[in-house]
Structure 1
């Protein structure tokens, strides 16, 4: 296996890489202990916008791994930052489908969030993974989009790995709204390079000195390729090694899981 060289930081996916649902994957504690021992900075960058950075810190703490809030970047946080750079937040009304992981970053940036009973009009519809998704939310979002609201998705993942198997992701919600409105959303998370570029800024590193780790070829790896950074595909989540020859892009390395990655980092 090729030896890692000139690493200034890591951008690490979470679902399918560190855990399945609430079940930590083998080698989790040793992996983070190695990162701390090597003084290797990292950003945990996830397309999952269902929970907040603070909740991710708590989830990892329950798995006996301590990290700081500044080491987390969710697609909800990335979406709020992206939109705040393009819209006057205090004058922009947002209808958001999603949990606290999407809604709180939007509030933190000063956006006005419409409630379910508020008829609008909305300037933007923003959708993230929503585990309480229902018919009324889909109807409200569709009506706002049909009335001219801008349509954004925190990410386009159609599935979400869990201890039960692969569940519908935010991409499934976006597909339903696109079918109902004929409007395609702008997505902020991987494979768009936006979230990776924001993570690079947090690390303070040039793209050539950073490695992305992920379990999905169509999001984690493609996003890394589009951003110009090296990547590791771990086979503990969605994608399989036999999927690679069918694509016109590829990860720099393929590894079984974070245990193999830990061994490689220690060489």
Structure 2
């Protein structure tokens, strides 16, 4: 493939690129075998903050692909790292809407997580996808933000694609809190460049040597453009090639799936 050269590392999305739900996409093991054969480093970077890095390692192992914890970067992990560089974790109380994929990285960095009924003030409200979201959680978060807590979102995905259809994602929760408080959050996941910049640091490579792989134009590809790195849109997930016609940005390459990408890497 023309110009598909000088690649020192990859930043790879997971949902829609490597699998659909619990079903591995065709060519998954051959793709990772190729990366190992070529000694091509990678970071699996996802906006999904609902599960932990350890759970992703286990999921891939169940698909006959072995990876290390250090090759995973979730928006929950990226959020915890970003906040730890700007706040003193041991002195910062955080109210979290979200599951273990967001809560555990914050705990690992030393932040203090506030309980649902604790009266103490919090310094941060952080929201990620929460499939047990309740009115009370929204009320608590809104009151903390109104009282002056800084407001962050692990990612801004408004919808979550599932076998049932497109369900409300974390972006819908952020929108509700913004409507209730008048405060807009800082979001860490794609298309913000933050998670990509952290992945570049993990790879220890300059942007011009790295290629991002994703299935969503509005997150994976736009985030790559904002970070100044090349990108591949694979058509095995959300976005279609026709969707590019109405945008003012585009991926560097468009490929059918990871099987075509594997072929391009081996050339």
**TMscore range, shorter length:** over 0.9
* Pairwise CA RMSD: 1.1
Q: How does 1:102-113 map to 2 (within 5 A)?
A: 102-113=102-113
Q: 1:142 and 2:152 equivalent?
A: no
Q: Distance in 1 between matches of 2:174 and 2:28?
A: 32
Q: Deviations over 1:54-88 (max 9, x none)?
A: 11101111111110000000111110111011111
Segment of structure 1 superposing worse, 73-82 or 157-166: 157-166
Shift of 1:137: 1.1
Partner of 1:53: 53
Q: Distance in 2 between matches of 1:161 and 1:122?
A: 32
Q: Distance in 2 between matches of 1:19 and 1:139?
A: 35
TM-score (norm 1): 0.97
Partner of 1:165: 165
Partner of 1:120: 120
Q: Distance in 2 between matches of 1:190 and 1:70?
A: 19
Partner of 2:211: 211
Partner of 1:71: 71
Residue 44 of structure 1 aligns to a residue whose secondary structure is: strand
Residue 95 of structure 1 aligns to a residue whose secondary structure is: strand
Structure 1's unaligned 5+ residue stretches are: none
Residue 110 of structure 2 aligns to a residue whose secondary structure is: coil
Partner of 1:133: 133
Structure 2's unaligned 5+ residue stretches are: none
Q: Distance in 2 between matches of 1:166 and 1:22?
A: 17
Partner of 2:99: 99
Partner of 2:235: 235
Contact 1:20 1:161 in 2 (8 A): no
Partner of 2:180: 180
Contact 1:22 1:163 in 2 (8 A): no
Q: Deviations over 1:207-252 (max 9, x none)?
A: 0000000111111111101111000011111111111121111100
TM-score (norm 2): 0.97
Shift of 1:161: 2.8
Q: Distance in 2 between matches of 1:116 and 1:40?
A: 45
Segment of structure 1 superposing worse, 196-205 or 1-10: 1-10
Partner of 2:42: 42
Shift of 1:167: 2.7
